[in-house]
Each structure stands twice: as structure tokens, then as C-alpha cells.
Amino acid sequence: MNGINGTLIVPGDKSISHRAAILASLSTGKTVIDNFLFSEDCLRTLDAFQEMGVQITKRNQQVIVESEGPSKFLPAKNAIDLGNSGTTARLLAGVLSAMPFSTVIKGDSSLSSRPMKRVTEPLSMMGAKFKFLQRDGHLPMTIEGGRLKQIDYEMPVASAQVKSAVLLAALTGQVHVSVTEQTKSRDHTERMLEAYGIHIEDKNGTITLRENQVLHAKNIEVPGDFSSAAYWIAAAVITPGSELTIEHVGLNPTRIGFLNVLKRMGASIEIIEKLDAMNEPVGTIIVRYSTLNATSLEIDEIPTLIDEIPILALVATQAEGTSHFHHLEELRFKETDRIKATVLGLEELGADIQMKDDGMVIQGRTRLHGGVVKTFHDHRIAMTAMIASLITSGDVTVDDQDCVKISYPNFFEQLNEFI
């Protein structure tokens, strides 16, 4: 391996694609969404609105949404299956809370083991009714929507999904709401609403959305997904001889904690262009192989790199010294218990990594070797293992390659271009 060299474009952002599908469906008129991420999770969001009567056409990298707004949504004929998608489940729960009908939503075994009370609690306070059909606090559940009332909600966990569920319920139900966050989570919903001309204010951690606002269709362009770019940034930083350019990547400050931490570790990273696409900063990243030092994560930066912990842990195996990753309790509630899956996966490849209740401690630098990594069907674990394969002394295989389709359908194609 002579390094990871060249120029790369990553697919559209997963979080922004979900929100584009939702806000386009909630608008009246025709929306063209460019660079939509056609991954399994985002397709679940499109399907859900299609099942409620919204006209959706997919072509190449575009999605065309034609909607008459939420007042014309129809009850889905069957339970809506959300597959593996936590973002769809939670954001959709917000929208459905304001619908004058009942809907059943369900998911695969991973999604059915993820907590839903974090959204049903605030949405119940707004007036929606929920019934868990099998296990308390988990999918499948029935959502009985209706007329909502105003709440001022203090978030107990830093979660963009919960924040967005409450904002979307208020928007759809046309009521005023305020949401207060202790630590700022990704703000794509707020930014996109603002781009639609909606009055939304973020003052000292309290986001306020005014009542009686409606969305009129507006074309949307989705930037490249920083979380997908993170795999290649890591690949270039840890593989000797690398210089990689990644174009048109979303650089929203609430998403790029991984870049900031890598810079702190000594990585050579440059951003050469910055433009705005629908209120989201977008740029080109140039990253080079670098000698790295260990680091510790601060509690406030966790939400800005929450999906990058597995790949950051891999990078830490190549940094000199002991890296301390704490305050990561939320990782236990992701597609799988990501603390455990990350530690087991990297241990299999020879890393010196210790699991803690709230995270992990990694001793670097270690020479990694080949192995068979158990993904627990988690896309981010599979991609981390495959990036590790660029520097291991033997072959790395994963027990499930298919799970990458959740967020990055062409991951293996792009990886093959480098090996």
C-alpha cells in the first residue's frame, strides 16, 4: 500500500437527506432534492411518506417530492416498517404526533431494541398518545396523533433526533415550542427550517419555533456526508504516503468534532473552500498521513463526533500514548452497543484497548494484524474494520458487508479504488 491518494466525493449526508425528505413532504408543492443519499435508512423515510400518499419519484441522484402538505396525508394502510433507521423512527414520531389518525411503526431487531421513550415522553406532553405493542419503551408502537399543545422542553440527553422530533411535531401541529439543550447536538433541522424561511431562534441553547408556520416547497441540495468522509480522512491520516482530497463535504460545526480532535492529535488537515448550501457550510478537505499523539475527549465535543467514535478509536491505536474516550454512554443505544462492538472489533485486530462503563481507553501505537471482525450488523463497525485493513499485516474480513448499505451503499466500490 503506497498510501491513499487522489480525489474523492462521498455520497449525500444521511441526516440532511432524512430531513430533506421530511420537510419536502411537509411542504406544499414540488421539491427537487439533489444528491439525496439512496441508502437503506433514507429510503425508509421516503417510503414512510409515500405510504401516507405523498408522491415521490427517485431518479439518479435526485428525488422529486410532490405534496399537498400534511393536512392531505392519509393513514398508512399497514404498519410502517422503518428497518434499521433510528432517525426515521424518532423524527417520524414527531410528525405523526400531529396527524389526526393512528399509525403503527415498527423496525428490525436492532431498531426494536433502541429506546423510544426519549421521544414519546415530550410528544406525550404535547398531547400525542403512544402504545408500545410488545416491549415497554420499544417498537413496535402505535402513535395516535391529534391536536397538540405548546411545551417548553428541557432535553435530558443530547440528541438531535429528540430535538428534531419535538420541533417537527410543533411545526406539523402548528404550535409554538421551545427546546433547551445542555450540549448542542447537530442542528440540521433548525438550519433547514431557516432556509425555508421559518422563524426559528436559537438563544443560549434554547430553540424556539413560532406557531402557525407552513412550508412552501423549495429545492434542496444535500452536501456530502462528513460522517462518511471521516472513514477516508482516517484512512489517509494512518496510511503512510497518503494525500487525499475530499470534495463537497458538509462542514457543519455541530458535525465536525472528528476533524478538530484529529488536528489536536497532530493531523495535517486543510480546508480549501467553503460555501453555503441551504444554510449548511460545505468545503473541500485535504488530508495527509501524519504522526499522531494520543488525546482525551471533552464532554462538550461528544455530540459533534458521536457517530465517529469507532473510526476515531482506530486512529487512536496509531497515536503515540494513551487516549481516553469517556462520556460515551449514548453509544450503548446506537445501532448496537457501539462501545462493546468497537472494543471487540479492534481487539480482534490486535489493538490495546480497554472497555470502560462510559467509553474506552486506547494505548498506541500498535501494529495491527488481520482478523475476522464481528460487526453486530452495524455499518460503522464494518467500515471501521475495512479502513483498518489498509494498515493491518494480514487480511481483515467482516461478518456482514451488507450493513454498510445503511449509510454508504458504494463504500466497498470506493475502497476497491484504493487497494
Work out whether 87 is an interface residue with ligand S3P (CB under 6 A). Answer: yes
User: Which position among 76, 92, 128, 160 is part of the footprint of ligand S3P (CB under 6 A)?
Assistant: 160
Work out whether 155 is an interface residue with ligand S3P (CB under 6 A). Answer: no
Q: Is 210 annotated as a binding residue?
A: no
Helix, strand or coil, per DSSP, at residue 112: helix
Determine whether 358 is an active site residue: no
Catalytic residue among 225, 307, 337, 399: 307
State the number of binding residues for ligand S3P (CB under 6 A): 12
Residues forming a β-bridge with 102? 144
Number of H helices, E strands in the chain: 12, 22
Q: How many residues appear in the chain?
A: 419
Work out whether 304 is an interface residue with ligand S3P (CB under 6 A). Answer: no
* Nearest distance from C-beta of residue 335 to ligand S3P, angstroms: 8
Residues forming a β-bridge with 80? 105
User: Which position among 45, 103, 120, 159 is part of the footprint of ligand S3P (CB under 6 A)?
Assistant: 159
In the complex with ligand S3P, which residue's Cβ is closer, 87 or 252?
87
In whole angstroms, what is the distance from residue 309 CA to residue 313 CA? 6
User: Which position among 306, 341, 343, 398 is part of the footprint of ligand S3P (CB under 6 A)?
Assistant: 306
Work out whether 15 is an interface residue with ligand S3P (CB under 6 A). Answer: yes
Q: How do 243-250 and 220-221 pair as beta strands? A: unpaired
Tell whether the torsion through CA atoms of 152, 155, 160 and 162 is positive or negative.
negative
Subset of 327-356 contacting ligand S3P (CB under 6 A): 330
* Nearest distance from C-beta of residue 305 to ligand S3P, angstroms: 10
**All residues at 6 or more sequence positions from 277 whose CB lies less than 8 Å from its CB, including other chains:** 221, 222, 223
Buried b / exposed e along 356-391 (16+ C-beta atoms within 10 A): eeebbbbbbbbebebbebbbbbbbbbbbbbbbbbbb
Q: Is 161 annotated as a binding residue?
A: yes
Work out whether 45 is an interface residue with ligand S3P (CB under 6 A). Answer: no
Among the listed residues 363, 238, 225, the one whose alpha carbon sits nearest the alpha carbon of residue 295: 363
Q: Is 14 annotated as a binding residue?
A: yes
Annotated binding site for phosphoenolpyruvate: 14, 86, 114, 161, 338, 380
Annotated binding site for 3-phosphoshikimate: 14-15, 19, 159, 161, 307, 334
Residues that bind ligand S3P (CB under 6 A): 15, 18, 87, 159-161, 164, 185-186, 306-307, 330
